[in-house]
Amino acid sequence: MEAMALRVGVAGIGWSGFSRTTEGTSYKELMFEAARSAYADAGVDPRSDIDSFVCCSEDIEEGTSIFDEYVPDQLGAVQRPVQTVASDGLFGVATAVMLIRSGVASAVAVESHSKASDVVSLGRVDRFAMDPVLNRPLGVSPTALAGLEMRRWLHVTGRSESECADVAARNRAHAATNRRASYADVHDPTPLFDPLTREQTAEPADGCVVLVLTTEERTPEGSVFIDGVGWSQDAPSVESRDWDRAAAAERAARAAYDRAGVEPGDVELAEVDDTFAYKQLQHLEALGLSDLAEDRVNPSGGALGEGHLREANGLARALACIEGLRSGDARVGLAQSWRGVPSTSAAVAVMRR
């Protein structure tokens, strides 16, 4: 696979919300706030300086069919190229990288948000992602799939439930100093889908992240660059997927490392999917990062600390990684996402400063 000679930089970052609810603020207003701060950070006017806009969302999550109808105004994207990527925000980052490398855009805004507090029946939304004929009639919660997968993963790897509990405790401790974290203080070992407990499960939050990505020429000196992206998935059917490992994250990571020309040993900071505590350990294995020092993994507190931001989880991880690299804490960072049950889709971005 060809290394990415044309580099894509992060010119601006912005966010809003990151709380359990954002009462009184509409999703449009939430997006407007995040977009304004990203454009200010990048020093750009979206009406003239951004060539393309990528929003990552799913209709049923929003309660609106064809949700891209409702995005352009609050992003400064009216009468401009706008598209939906029906996936997690890191897939949007990969899309922005492709748009810039193809030459069709030199600056792209990537947006994803969660307004989970608008959805009264989140569990039913997730359930509707299950196979309609074979799985849904069984009436089992999609989150039970995480319990099944955790059990299998413990069995195959010989790791323990207490290691998973340690991940949850550590991430929530990391979250204590993160102003975006709303769930730093959850300590509840109640089993939900045994062996999965409540404290090992990320809980919903509202928030929006906007990134401005640019060509190397348009990226200010000293910025963070997205040097590798990868994305993949496993079998959609629950019955035929690989239950022993995070196969899609492995493939996504391989592609991202190759494109960035780095090896796992070069990574100094990782913000990885931890929407369930065992997934952090499983994902670190898939990324080849099991030996990375504990304080270098999800120093933000991850989704366990910040909350589950639905399709914005990947951008939340990317945001924390970019901030870490900007602060000088690390030179090479990695952000990884997984779309959550019952999906197998995963994406990886390798970044350098």
Partner 1 sequence: MSPRVAVVGAGMSRFVRRAQETGKELSWIATREALASCELKLDDVDAVCLTSAPDAFDGVHRKGDYLADGAGAWAKPYMRTYVGGGSGVFTAIQGWYTVASGLADVVVCVAEEKMSSCQPHPQGAFLTIFDNILERPLGPNLLWIFALEMQRYMQAYGLDKRDIAQVAVKNKRNAAEHPAALLGQADITVEDVLGSETLAWPVQRLDVSPISDGAVAIVMASEDAAKRLTDRPVWIQGVGWNLDTTYWTNRDLAYPEYVENAARMAYGMAGVNEPRKEIQVAEPYDPFDYKELHHLEGLLLFDRGKAPEAAADGVTARDGDLPCCPSGGLLGVGNPIAAAGLMKIAELFWQLRGEAGARQVPGTPERGVAQAWGDLMQVGTVVVMGNGGGPLATATQSPPFAPRATSLSDQEFRSATGAVEQRLDTRYEWDPGEAIGAVLDGLREQRILATTCISCGRTLVPARKFCERCFRPTDGWTEVPHTGTVETFSICHVTWDMRPLDEPQIPAVIRLDGTSEGGFLHLVGEVAPDDVRAGMQVEAVWKPAGERVGSILDIEYFRPLEPELRRELVAVAAVELPVEIAP
Positions 69 through 108 that interact with partner 1 (CB under 8 A): 69-74, 76-87, 91, 94-95, 97-104
Cα(5)–Cα(97) distance, rounded to whole angstroms?
A: 12
* 147 lies in the binding site for partner 1 (CB under 8 A): no
Among the listed residues 40, 43, 63, 244, the single contact to partner 1 using CB under 8 A: 63
Asked whether the bond before 195 is cis by omega within 30 degrees of 0, the reply is yes
Smallest distance from partner 1 to CB 339, Å? 7
Residue 124 engages partner 1 in binding (rule: CB under 8 A): yes
Q: Kindly state whether residue 9 participates in binding partner 1, applying the rule CB under 8 A.
A: no
320 half-sphere exposure, CB direction, 13 A CA radius = 32
What is the identity of the amino acid at 183? Answer: Y
Report the distance separating Cα 250 and Cα 268, nearest Å: 18
Find the binding residues for partner 1 in span 272-291 (CB under 8 A). Answer: none
Compute the least distance from the CB of residue 199 to partner 1, in Å: 27
Nearer to partner 1, 146 or 168 (CB): 146
Q: How far is residue 219 CA from its own chain's centroid?
A: 23
Which of helix, strand or coil describes residue 142? coil
In the complex, the smallest distance separating the C-beta of residue 201 from partner 1, rounded to whole angstroms, is 19
d(CA 167, CA 279) in angstroms, rounded, equals 10
- The three-state secondary structure class of 54 is strand
Of the pair 10, 164, the CB lying nearest partner 1 is at 10
- Alpha carbon distance 87, 306 (integer Å): 20
Pick one of 11, 14, 18, 32: the residue that binds partner 1 (CB under 8 A): 32
Q: Which is nearer to partner 1, 51 or 268 (CB)?
A: 51
Question: Smallest distance from the beta carbon of 246 to partner 1, in angstroms?
Answer: 13
Residues 119, 81: Cα–Cα separation, whole Å = 29
173 binds partner 1 (CB under 8 A): no
Q: Provide CB contacts within 8 A for 43, sequence distance 6+.
A: 11, 12
For the CB of residue 118, give the shortest distance to partner 1 in the complex, in Å: 5
Q: Minimum distance between the CB of residue 18 and partner 1, rounded to whole angstroms? A: 16
Q: According to CB under 8 A, which residues from 197 to 236 bind partner 1? A: 229-236
The nearer residue to partner 1, 67 or 193, going by C-beta atoms, is: 67
E strand or H helix at 334, and its extent?
strand 332-338
Binds partner 1 (CB under 8 A): choice among 15, 18, 27, 257: 27
The rounded distance, in Å, linking the Cα atoms of 31 and 91 is 18
Region from 128-136, 182-190, 218-226, 330-338 binding partner 1, contact rule CB under 8 A = 128-136
- The number of angstroms, rounded, from the C-alpha of 121 to the middle of its chain's C-alpha atoms is 22
Could you say which residues in the range 38-57 bind partner 1, by CB under 8 A?
A: 45-47
Q: Specify the residue, 173 or 235, whose C-beta has the smaller distance to partner 1.
A: 235
- Residue 82 Cβ, how far from partner 1 at the closest point, in Å? 4
Strands 224-232 and 346-352: antiparallel
Q: Residue 84 or 182: which CB sits closer to partner 1?
A: 84
Of the candidates 186, 247, 260, 292, which one interacts with partner 1 according to CB under 8 A? 247
68 binds partner 1 (CB under 8 A): yes
Sequence-ordered list of residues with C-beta below 8 angstroms from that of 302, at least 6 positions apart, any chain: 171, 174, 175, 202, 271, 272, 273, 274, 280, 317
Binding flag, residue 28, partner 1 (CB under 8 A): yes
302: region left, alpha or beta (phi > 0 left; psi from -120 to 50 alpha): left
The piece of 148-156, 195-203, 299-307, 340-348 that touches partner 1 (CB under 8 A) is 340-348
- Neighbouring-strand partners of residue 351: 226, 333
* Total number of residues that touch partner 1 (CB under 8 A): 88
